[in-house]
Structure 1
Amino acid sequence: MNTPLMIDTYLPPIENNPGISHPAKIIASDGKTYFLKGNMSKDNDNNKLFHMDAALAQEALSYRIANFFNIPTPQIVYIKITEDDLVNFPKLRFFHNFQKPGLYLASENTGSSELNKEFRQYYHFYSFGFPGNYFHGFLSRIQNKEDISKIIYFDILIANIDRYKNPGNLIFKDVGDGNIMLAIDFGYSFFGPYWSAHEYYSNIKKEELLHHNYPNDLATSWPQFILQQMNLLGQQSSNSIFDALSKFIVFKENPFLKSNYRAHELSNNILTKLINEIPNEWFVQGEYQKNMYLQFISSQIKLIPFIIDYLVSAKNLNNSNGGKLKWETGKHIISL
């Protein structure tokens, strides 16, 4: 992935143009079709552009960590946009908000557009309180249901605040006897795509959130706070994507335990290697920003059993252990 590809062909905008970054559909120099993502978004109310200055670094890092956890995702590549591309394909600049040449990120087009459309339509009605028979029927055809708990664990680990309120962040691939679910779009991990250009809350900086500090008026504990921000708890979580997916998690044993084992293999050395594979120009504050991500992930790994136990208890998930999950980390067994 370290060698950038070039744009060979620009394709018409994808249906409904999902995502605030308005990804462009292209054929790259390797002959494959990709969705090309930038780091600018537009406020449609006043036509103002916003620089999502952390989006590319966070997306690239999250995909690398997802691969470490064997979470199904599309392949990602670097794409180099030239000034000639912006001239030859003017929609890149004026429709997709690519404002200057440079290195960007793209994910391979591996899902089924019809299945993705079906998923979004069923979720739309389900989210408004209509009976979810069709939606649950769609989800029941997922062949890799064991990956649901892995994706939930991973999203909590990276504080991905967008997955469970945005049906465009899961895609599906037809495999004949059912569908494979893939996780995409991690730009909103680590509490959002901004580093310095925008504060996630008006009274708290992103750096504070990465230090596990949160506004006291929003939650009584870190587990409550992060789960609320991820749309896993609270009024907004009713009829959410998480609620629908959680019905397919099997609780005969702790379904998050294998992910927890894997997380404890994610050493600082491995994390440092993954972070250093990302282009330096995608980081606003260089080594300081890299260290913030590393420290946050390392701290989250220690806290995540307590976060998930809080979630299981609060949502009354079908835990056959009576609301208690057993976690084993190294030589220490934690029974929550």
Structure 2
Amino acid sequence: MQIDKEYVDQIDASLNPQLGMSKPISILASNNKNYFLKRQYVIDQNGVSHNENAVFMQELFVSQIANSLQIPIPSCAILNLEKEFLEANEDLRFQYHLKPGLYFGSEILNNTESNLVPHYIEAMQHGKPQIIRSWNSFFRNVENPEAYASIIALDLLTANCDRFGNEGNIIITNHHNNRKVFALDFGHCFLSPYWNKDKVRFMQSIPDKDQDPNNYIDYFLCKLLQSTNKPLNPLGTIFSGMQNNIFFESGNPFAKIISKIESLKSEDLRMFINQIPSVWVSGDTLQLDTYVNFIEKSKYLVRYLLERLYELGAFNNSLGGKLEWPISGINYGIQ
């Protein structure tokens, strides 16, 4: 995966998204591309500042994994925000709480669709409430529907509890009526955007492929349900919209992505992790090794997480029974 290393040339506040606590900033980089610049220091709705000290590392690491699995994501860049730029733009520096240094950037895609129904502004002017299209219909009729199964599998692989209820990290582009879905925002993978004792404990507790994975599955699914906090839609609106567009009549739609995930190579994971700038790593080699080892073990657990979700009725288009997998090689895991 090509990772551009560019400088921030300009900030364009007019394109800044409003979803999410981090509220990334739209910038023009030295390669003349527009990116959303993510921030490590964020302020929550109560005005409390948080240092998300693993967010940049996780964004870049998982972006490379997604790209290797051929999951559609925007291109990314390591963006250098120079001291001289901030000194020349003091108002922006204080407005966005920016400091000089390296930031993670996700390229801004053109021709993105909104989930708002057409003419909603006119409706609001006539006293009618703002209406949002069903996520099921919004996700329908894309040219890459296989991406939905792949995105769900990737999030299970990387313990990403942030996607399924967060309406800002799946986007659809529309070029000449060719709609395509993309996944973005991996900063909250591995249960949180922080590197701390809780993160180490969780990541190091993941079982080997010859160990019983049930405790891990129970724990992770519990965290997944807690993160959405939506009792009428347990796994969140985004998960609901994706799973309603996943079909099982022609076989297991997760089989292909699981084959790719289980084929991830240690040397590739090590290459991905070595692309991380050292200033984004707060835990030295322990942190790097922990992330690689986690994926090495997690890649064999995704199929069992999917089987549990299938049995629990998470997929409305299920055919019943058990999720069947093609027989190829050794089937590791529970017998």
TM normalised by structure 1 equals: 0.84
Residue 256 of structure 1 pairs with residue 254 of structure 2: yes
Give the Cα–Cα distance (whole angstroms) in 2 for the partners of residues 334 and 190 of structure 1.
Answer: 22
Equivalent position to 1:228, from 222, 232, 251: 222
Equivalent position to 1:278, from 276, 279, 285: 276
Call closer, same or farther: CA 1:272–1:213 in 2, change over 3 Å: closer
Call closer, same or farther: CA 1:334–1:229 in 2, change over 3 Å: closer
Call closer, same or farther: CA 1:305–1:327 in 2, change over 3 Å: farther
Q: Which runs of 5+ in 2 are unaligned?
A: 121-130, 208-213
- Corresponding residue SS for 1:57: helix
1:256 CA drift (Å):
1.1
Give the Cα–Cα distance (whole angstroms) in 1 for the partners of residues 54 and 223 of structure 2.
Answer: 18
Cα-to-partner distance string for 1:47-72 (whole Å, 9 max, x where unaligned): 33211000000000010000011011
Aligned position for 2:22: 21
Matched-pair contact (CA < 8 Å) for 1:4–1:78: yes
Cα-to-partner distance string for 1:260-291 (whole Å, 9 max, x where unaligned): 11112211111111100111111111110011
Cα-to-partner distance string for 1:132-191 (whole Å, 9 max, x where unaligned): 974332221322111100000001000111101111011111032342110011000011
1:233 CA drift (Å):
9.9
Residue 319 of structure 1 pairs with residue 312 of structure 2: no
Alignment of 1:158-237 (within 5 A): 158-196=158-196, 205-212=198-205, 221-231=215-225, 235=231, 237=234
Call closer, same or farther: CA 1:223–1:237 in 2, change over 3 Å: same
- Corresponding residue SS for 1:27: strand
- Matched letter for residue 39 of structure 1: Q
Cα-to-partner distance string for 1:84-135 (whole Å, 9 max, x where unaligned): 222223354333332x21111111111435x13539xx9xxxxxxxx99743
1:234 CA drift (Å):
8.0
Give the Cα–Cα distance (whole angstroms) in 2 for the partners of residues 168 and 22 of structure 1.
Answer: 10
Aligned position for 2:239: 242
- Corresponding residue SS for 1:179: strand
1:329 CA drift (Å):
5.7
- Corresponding residue SS for 2:245: coil
- Corresponding residue SS for 1:103: strand
Matched-pair contact (CA < 8 Å) for 1:11–1:26: yes
- Corresponding residue SS for 2:104: strand
Aligned length: 313
Give the Cα–Cα distance (whole angstroms) in 1 for the partners of residues 219 and 229 of structure 2.
Answer: 9
After TM superposition, the structure 1 stretch with the greater mean CA deviation from structure 2, 104-113 or 149-158, is 104-113
The ranges of structure 1 where at least 4 consecutive aligned residues each deviate by more than 6 angstroms after the TM superposition are 333-336
Give the Cα–Cα distance (whole angstroms) in 1 for the partners of residues 221 and 279 of structure 2.
Answer: 31
1:254 CA drift (Å):
1.3
Give the Cα–Cα distance (whole angstroms) in 2 for the partners of residues 94 and 101 of structure 1.
Answer: 12
- Matched letter for residue 294 of structure 1: V
- Corresponding residue SS for 1:50: strand
After TM superposition, the structure 1 stretch with the greater mean CA deviation from structure 2, 158-167 or 309-318, is 309-318
Identical columns (%): 27
After TM superposition, the structure 1 stretch with the greater mean CA deviation from structure 2, 73-82 or 296-305, is 296-305
Aligned position for 1:94: 94
Residue 84 of structure 1 pairs with residue 84 of structure 2: yes
Call closer, same or farther: CA 1:107–1:28 in 2, change over 3 Å: same
Cα-to-partner distance string for 1:6-31 (whole Å, 9 max, x where unaligned): 12221124355322222111111111
- Matched letter for residue 319 of structure 2: S
Give the Cα–Cα distance (whole angstroms) in 2 for the partners of residues 89 and 181 of structure 1.
Answer: 36
Give the Cα–Cα distance (whole angstroms) in 2 for the partners of residues 15 and 79 of structure 1.
Answer: 17
TM normalised by structure 2 equals: 0.84
Matched-pair contact (CA < 8 Å) for 1:169–1:184: yes
- Corresponding residue SS for 1:118: coil
Equivalent position to 1:118, from 116, 119, 135: 116
Aligned position for 1:69: 69
- Corresponding residue SS for 2:279: helix
